[in-house]
Amino acid sequence: MSGTGVPVLLSTTGLSMSFGPFQVIRGVDLALRRGCRHALIGPNGAGKTTLVNLLTGVLRPGRGTIAIGGKDVTRLSERERVRHGLARTFQINQLFRTLTAFENVSLAVSRRLGRDGVLWRSRKAERRTAAEAMGVLERVGLTDDAFRPVRELSYGSQRLLEIALALAMDPAILLMDEPAAGVPLGERDRVLDTVDALGPELAILIIEHDMDLIFRFASEITVLVDGAVLRHGTPDEVARDERVRDAYLGVARDG
């Protein structure tokens, strides 16, 4: 997993943030290496989604720094961080609901190709965007649904499209906020298999509540409790840690 020779793509040092008097993130240090499968777990309200929003630039930290590929991006906007190879998926679907799956992905592809502000059509560019968008849909197994509007897709397909929109940006780092959340049992395998099959060179941070998915997928785990890192280690180390069991695993088992 995290051999020291593998370059760190995304890192934070002493990241902290408050909403008014409430400190929601407390001095988080995190390092995502190329190819990592890093799970971020913790009870509800631990600050997982807030941390993702800090990483992507939706929120600004009070203290601490964020670096992508060694470059300090703490003060850069969401858009500039995307350009540095950072992509995310959302816990609650953020799709273009009246557009088809193909059109959804095309929007992201045309942004990546720098054509989202172009005022004229070009057959050549159109062909390239279409081919790349279909390629992304194929990677998540959605080609059969390509020309159906999002609102007609099954929930599992919508979750896959959520991933496709991030993949269309051709990221180096992918942050996934509960990709399997709410997916009915019959469609779960499709989503999990897709997550499993993501490019081995991608650095992936995944927030998940589902322990099966985490232990199947993750090579390292960070446990976040009350906005601070309680434990970081391999799945085995984390599973054996009594504090983690008390704070989270036990709770999850009981509840």
Partner 1 sequence: MADPDPLEAAADPEALGRAAQAFVRARDDLRPADAIPWLLALAVPFLLSQECAFGTQILIMVLFALSLDFILGYAGIVTLGQAAYFGLGAYTAGLLSARLGWNEPISGLLAAGLVAAAAGAVSGWILLRYRHLALLMLTIAISTILYELANTWSWLTGGFDGLMGISISPLLGVFDWDLEGRTSYLYALVVSMLCFLALRRITVSPFGQTLHGIRENTARMRAIGVPVLGRLTLAYTISAGIAGIGGGLLAQANSFITMQVLSFDTSAAVLTMLVLGGTGRLYGAMVGAVVYMLAADRLARLSPEYWELGVGLLLVFVVLVCPDGLFGVVDRLRRRGWRWRQ
Which residues bind to partner 1, rule: CB under 8 A? 56, 58, 78-79, 82-83, 87-88, 90, 94-100, 102-103, 106-108, 110-112, 115-121, 125-127, 129-131, 133-135, 137-138, 143-147, 165, 168-169
**Helix axis angle, 185-196 to 155-167, nearest 10°:** 20
Minimum distance between the CB of residue 169 and partner 1, rounded to whole angstroms? Answer: 6
Give the nearer residue to partner 1 in terms of CB position, either 130 or 181: 130
Using CA atoms, how far apart are residues 218 and 203, in angstroms rounded to an integer?
11
Using CA atoms, how far apart are residues 176 and 195, in angstroms rounded to an integer?
10
Minimum distance between the CB of residue 75 and partner 1, rounded to whole angstroms? Answer: 17
Minimum distance between the CB of residue 201 and partner 1, rounded to whole angstroms? Answer: 20
Q: Does an H or E element contain 193, and which?
A: helix 185-196
Contacts (Cβ under 8 Å, ≥6 apart) of 204: 32, 36, 37, 38, 173, 174, 175, 176, 198
Minimum distance between the CB of residue 101 and partner 1, rounded to whole angstroms? Answer: 10
Quickly tell me which residue has 């807030």 as its tokens.
50
Question: In whole angstroms, how large is the CA radius of gyration of the chain?
Answer: 19
Give the nearer residue to partner 1 in terms of CB position, either 22 or 120: 120
Minimum distance between the CB of residue 2 and partner 1, rounded to whole angstroms? Answer: 27
Give the nearer residue to partner 1 in terms of CB position, either 96 or 215: 96
Positive or negative: CA dihedral 42, 45, 51, 57: positive
